[in-house]
Chain A
Amino acid sequence: MTLFLREMKGNFKSFVIWTLCIIVMLGVFLAMFPSFAAQGESLDELLSGFSEDMLKIFSFDNLDFTVGIDYYAYIFQYILLAAMIQFMIMGAGLISREEDGGTINFLYAKPLSRSSIVTTKFLAGFTYIAVFFVVFTGSACAVLAAVDATAINFGVMLLFSCALSLGQLMMMGIGMLISMFVTRTRTLMSVSIGVVLLLYILSMVINLNEDLSALKYVTPFQYFDSRSILHTESIEWVYVILPTGAALAGYALSLVIYNRRDLKC
């Protein structure tokens, strides 16, 4: 419990900053909605000038920008990107920060097993995902209600937030696993952000090229296609199981590796 509380405290500042930024980003995007909605026709005209590929890359297709929830679905992909980077960084930092900062000399001299260090830190990250879910969903509903109250669909909003949590969970597990191999914080941050961006770009490529659709299980940006969540009002089970499994695998492998390797101190 002592370590858990310490972890919550240690990650608090960066969590608050990231979460605030994401909510502000959402607010700024949604604030632009009234002008989008008002100019719906001219926007359609503008978009029809783009090639179909272009629309697919930016996910402009199949959305009605004059409806609030559709607009929310459009900006969701950017929220997802930011939220995944946030927890990739957190996951990568949980273990490595102690070694890079030299505090492991303090921590591992305490009566703690290596497994309990990994598990406690993972649980602290998990708690922050839950906190994010509550804070974000609340803020998103409030902002959307202010912009277009008629179009609010709480079920869909919750689904979007669940998608965020699943994406964050997966990134946290992968981030932790990466930190087992790359221990210098600066390199680690570049690598982990790079991985998220790579997955994002891969998702764009898959959108463009149907031959690559088999790859859709590789990148979580394909799991939570905002149009499909919006239109079907559901997330497929496979896309719940995949990210959860990936997170647990990342955690379990980290546990095994951390129990075998030399600590950098």
Chain B
Amino acid sequence: MKVISAEKLTKNYGKNRGITGLDLSVDEGEVYGFIGPNGAGKSTTIKLLLDFIRPTSGSCRIFGENCITASADIKKDIGYIPAEVSYYDGMKVLDLLVYSSRYYPGNHQTYTRKLCEALDLDTTRKISELSTGNKKKVAIVQAMLHKPKLLIMDEPTAGLDPLIQYEFYGLVKEANKQGVTVFFSSHILSEVQRVCSRIGIIRKGRLISTQSIEELTQAQYKRVKVTLDGEFNLPGAENIKRRNGTIEFLYKGSADALLKALAARHVSGILIEDPPLEDIFMTYYREGGK
């Protein structure tokens, strides 16, 4: 079943571009990373899915239901972590969590307590006195406490220290194991690598590629480091850097062509590996930028 599907989703803010003709599809049980530079349209897409804003054209569905007309119904099973977190003045953490849980039928106390412990969140403090990171933790707990079927998160780990990030991704993975679908945006690529099963790359309001993590890291690109005398050029080599006789580049093409080209030279050192996502993204961003 498709948990999220968008067709030709377009949003313009006056003359400004939001997103253009976005087709999106997220299956049940996936962890989908929505990646792009700042201002690419990640938040716009998320706000359209949650009906905070209305599309200029196109449509989107969650759980097969229309995101606009069935918004209230859909949201029973959604947890949302916004990019910027602000809450009602004077509320304590516990007040907010209790308030949030009242919107969903059932008793959520035990699970809420478990989440707070996992994230090391002090529920007796006033929210207005919390640091950005702690406010984010509150957002995470209130989004997960009713055990939603779909988690939508806009840059969820911004402001969290690495240790808490680790805990957070632990929670996400655990939820995912229990069948929760996760859709989240980020511009931090290592994050994506760690948890996502599939990613969509968005740039200037358009989805320019959708791939599984394996496809992205293994099937296409290799990072090659060779030490040899003189120049080396090969079709498919990108991002070429030279330092002290060592040439480093990203290679997209047949392994055979690479090896044959290298065989003709005197090579004193070689390393061929899967590149980190960062390197791949740089090429994506640049390709689109030309």
A residues at B contact (CB < 8 Å): 2, 6, 10, 101-106, 108-114, 116, 260-263, 265
9 closest residue pairs by CB, A with B: A102-B86, A109-B80, A105-B82, A262-B53, A2-B102, A110-B103, A113-B72, A111-B75, A111-B76
Q: A111-B75, A111-B103, A113-B71 are in contact. Are A263 and B53 (CB under 8 A)?
A: yes
Closest to B143 in A: A109
Interface string of B67-90 (1 = CB under 8 A from A): 000011101101110101111100
| A-B residue pairs in contact (CB < 8 Å), sample of 8 | A102-B86, A103-B86, A103-B88, A105-B80, A106-B87, A108-B52, A111-B103, A265-B47
Q: Is the CB of B52 within 8 A of A101?
A: no
**Cβ–Cβ < 8 Å partners of A265 in chain B:** 47, 52, 82
**Cβ–Cβ < 8 Å partners of A10 in chain B:** 88
CA distance A112 to B143 in the complex (A): 15
**Cβ–Cβ < 8 Å partners of A109 in chain B:** 50, 75, 78-80, 82, 143
Q: Does B99 contact A (CB under 8 A)?
A: yes
Closest to B69 in A: A113
B residues at A contact (CB < 8 Å): 47, 50-54, 71-73, 75-76, 78-80, 82, 84-88, 99-100, 102-104, 142-143
**Cβ–Cβ < 8 Å partners of B88 in chain A:** 6, 10, 101, 103
Closest to B138 in A: A106
Least distance between A105 CB and chain B CB atoms (Å): 4
**Cβ–Cβ < 8 Å partners of B72 in chain A:** 111-113, 116
Least distance between A121 CB and chain B CB atoms (Å): 14
**Cβ–Cβ < 8 Å partners of A108 in chain B:** 50-52
Least distance between A117 CB and chain B CB atoms (Å): 10
Contact of B52 among A6, A103, A111, A262 (CB under 8 A): A262
CA distance A102 to B87 in the complex (A): 7
Q: Is the CB of A263 within 8 A of B52?
A: yes
CA distance A104 to B51 in the complex (A): 12
Q: Is the CB of B86 within 8 A of A105?
A: yes
With A110-B100, A111-B73 given, name 7 new contacts (CB 8 A). A102-B84, A105-B80, A105-B82, A108-B52, A109-B80, A110-B103, A112-B72
**Cβ–Cβ < 8 Å partners of A110 in chain B:** 75, 100, 103
CA distance A102 to B84 in the complex (A): 8
**Cβ–Cβ < 8 Å partners of B80 in chain A:** 105, 109
CA distance A109 to B80 in the complex (A): 6
Q: A6-B99, A109-B78, A113-B71 are in contact. Are A103 and B87 (CB under 8 A)?
A: yes
CA distance A116 to B103 in the complex (A): 13
Closest to A117 in B: B72
CA distance A128 to B228 in the complex (A): 82
Closest to B54 in A: A262
Closest to B80 in A: A109
Q: Is the CB of A260 within 8 A of B103?
A: no
Most chain B CB within 10 A, of A102, A105, A260, A261, is at A105
Least distance between A258 CB and chain B CB atoms (Å): 12
**Cβ–Cβ < 8 Å partners of A104 in chain B:** 52
Q: A6-B99, A112-B72 are in contact. Are A106 and B84 (CB under 8 A)?
A: no
Closest to B75 in A: A111
Least distance between A109 CB and chain B CB atoms (Å): 4
Q: Is the CB of B100 within 8 A of A112?
A: no
Contact of B99 among A2, A114, A116, A262 (CB under 8 A): A2
CA distance A115 to B72 in the complex (A): 10
CA distance A131 to B244 in the complex (A): 81
Contact of B54 among A2, A111, A112, A260 (CB under 8 A): A260
Least distance between A194 CB and chain B CB atoms (Å): 26
Q: Is the CB of A105 within 8 A of B84?
A: yes
**Cβ–Cβ < 8 Å partners of A105 in chain B:** 52, 80, 82, 84-86
Least distance between B43 CB and chain A CB atoms (Å): 9
Closest to B53 in A: A262
CA distance A108 to B82 in the complex (A): 11
**Cβ–Cβ < 8 Å partners of B47 in chain A:** 265
Least distance between B181 CB and chain A CB atoms (Å): 16
CA distance A104 to B88 in the complex (A): 10
**Cβ–Cβ < 8 Å partners of A2 in chain B:** 99, 102-103
CA distance A263 to B82 in the complex (A): 14
CA distance A10 to B88 in the complex (A): 8
**Cβ–Cβ < 8 Å partners of B100 in chain A:** 106, 110
Closest to B74 in A: A111
Least distance between A236 CB and chain B CB atoms (Å): 42
Least distance between A223 CB and chain B CB atoms (Å): 36
Q: Is the CB of B103 within 8 A of A112?
A: yes
**Cβ–Cβ < 8 Å partners of A102 in chain B:** 84-86
Closest to A99 in B: B52
CA distance A225 to B235 in the complex (A): 88
Closest to B72 in A: A113
Closest to B89 in A: A101
Least distance between A108 CB and chain B CB atoms (Å): 6
Least distance between B144 CB and chain A CB atoms (Å): 12
Closest to B84 in A: A102
